[in-house]
């Protein structure tokens, strides 16, 4: 949006509220109501309007609040957007973002993965990123594309949790199979407050992992920061995974129990995600 004035957003609750999943958070404040347009509940209407704006050279990006709602503007997408270039030479550069997938207890109308409805429709491009980095690159490419693009973004994409750690904890965290952001602090003091708050702004869940004893390290400072400045960002109480407040024991049974293990970390992340 900073690099192309033609790009503007249409969708339900995407303005001041920042979108049901917070994807457009901050954009209304930066770009204003002319470029982040809150619409009435009318998917046929605003997808159609996006097509019309694209006809006139704009680059609209539509947010469907849930991918399930793609059934409402289906006709606009497959009848108007997909077929227009083939039958007239007029390109329709619109992007329709649609959060798909479950895991949020959304039930039959808020957790579907309807990307298959659009696969095989000539004239449509259907993309679905697997990581945050991919989502950025693919979304940029989709907006620059001259064809209509269905952009399915999984609700859990990057929105799971942040593991804040350093040193040997980084490798342990990177080994997690869960969808987490790993924030490698590198510099422990002064704390990179911005990096911590940015990440929690995306994920809403924090786990601090350290090998230092629970009360003697950086974790307390991260928790203090989250309590003071990140409270509104959190969807769950932050978790600290660290050894107990004792010296390091010698016997293998004791040291193994003392150090955070991959299994304990995985269980803690599981609890945090399930909160």
Partner 1 sequence: MATETRLELFRLMLLQRTFEERTSALYRQGRISGSLYDGLGQEAVAAAAGLALEEGDVVAPLNRELATHFARGVTPADAFRNFLGRGNGPTFGRDGNMHFGVPARGVFPLVSMLGNLCPVVVGAALAFKRRGEPHVGLTFLGEGAFSVGDVHEGLNLAGVWQVPAVFILQSHGYSYSTPSSAQMVNTNLAERIQGGWSIPATRIDGTDVLLAFESIKAAVERARAGEGPQAVECVTLRGHGHAAHDDARYVPAELRESFIGRDPIERLEATLQQTGLAEQANAVRRAVVEEIAAALAEAEAAPAPDPATMEHGVYAHPL
Residues that bind partner 1 (CB under 8 A): 8, 34, 37, 39-40, 42, 44-58, 60, 75-76, 79-80, 83-91, 93, 122-123, 125, 145-147
What is d(CA 96, CA 14) in angstroms, rounded to the nearest whole number? 14
* Cβ distance to partner 1 smaller for residue 83 or 110: 83
DSSP conformational letter for 67: G
Residue found under tokens 């350290």: 210
Q: Is the peptide bond before 208 cis (omega within 30 degrees of 0)?
A: no
Smallest distance, partner 1 to C-beta of residue 131, A = 20
Smallest distance, partner 1 to C-beta of residue 275, A = 39
Smallest distance, partner 1 to C-beta of residue 112, A = 21
What is d(CA 103, CA 90) in angstroms, rounded to the nearest whole number? 40
What are the residues facing 36 on neighbouring strands? Answer: 9
For β-strands 125-127 and 149-154, DSSP reports them as: parallel
What is d(CA 268, CA 34) in angstroms, rounded to the nearest whole number? 44
* Cβ distance to partner 1 smaller for residue 150 or 233: 150
Smallest distance, partner 1 to C-beta of residue 183, A = 35
* Cβ distance to partner 1 smaller for residue 151 or 166: 151
DSSP conformational letter for 78: I
What is d(CA 204, CA 213) in angstroms, rounded to the nearest whole number? 25
Smallest distance, partner 1 to C-beta of residue 38, A = 10
All residues at 6 or more sequence positions from 185 whose CB lies less than 8 Å from its CB, including other chains: 164, 165, 166, 191, 192, 195, 218
Respond yes or no: is residue 178 known to be catalytic: no
* Cβ distance to partner 1 smaller for residue 37 or 218: 37
Candidates 110, 154, 178, 221; catalytic one: 110
DSSP conformational letter for 111: S
* Cβ distance to partner 1 smaller for residue 123 or 201: 123
Catalytic residue numbers? 110
């Amino acid at each position: 949006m900073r690099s192309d004035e033609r790009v503007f957003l249409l969708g339900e609750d995407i303005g001041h509220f920042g979108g049901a999943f917070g994807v457009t958070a901050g954009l209304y404040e930066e770009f204003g109501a002319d470029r982040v347009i809150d619409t009435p509940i009318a998917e046929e209407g605003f997808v159609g309007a996006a097509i019309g704006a694209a006809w006139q050279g704009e680059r609209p990006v539509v947010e469907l609040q849930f991918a399930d709602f793609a059934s409402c503007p289906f006709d606009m997408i497959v009848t108007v957007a997909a077929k227009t270039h083939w039958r007239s030479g007029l390109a329709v550069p619109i992007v329709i973002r649609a959060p798909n997938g479950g895991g949020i207890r959304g039930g039959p109308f808020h957790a579907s993965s309807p990307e298959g409805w659009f696969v095989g429709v000539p004239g449509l491009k259907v993309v679905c990123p697997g990581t945050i980095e991919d989502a950025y690159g693919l979304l940029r490419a989709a907006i620059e594309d001259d064809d209509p693009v269905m952009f399915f973004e999984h609700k859990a994409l990057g929105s799971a949790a942040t593991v804040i750690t350093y040193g040997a904890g980084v490798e342990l965290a990177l080994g997690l199979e869960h969808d987490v952001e790993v924030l490698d602090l590198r510099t422990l003091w002064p704390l990179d407050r911005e990096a911590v708050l940015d990440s929690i702004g995306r994920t809403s869940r924090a786990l601090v992992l350290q090998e230092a004893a629970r009360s003697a390290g950086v974790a307390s400072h991260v928790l203090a920061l989250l309590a003071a400045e990140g409270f509104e960002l959190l969807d769950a109480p932050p978790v600290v995974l660290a050894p107990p407040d004792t010296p390091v024991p010698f016997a293998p049974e004791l040291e193994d129990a003392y150090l955070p293990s991959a299994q304990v970390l995985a269980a803690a992340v599981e609890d945090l995600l399930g909160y």
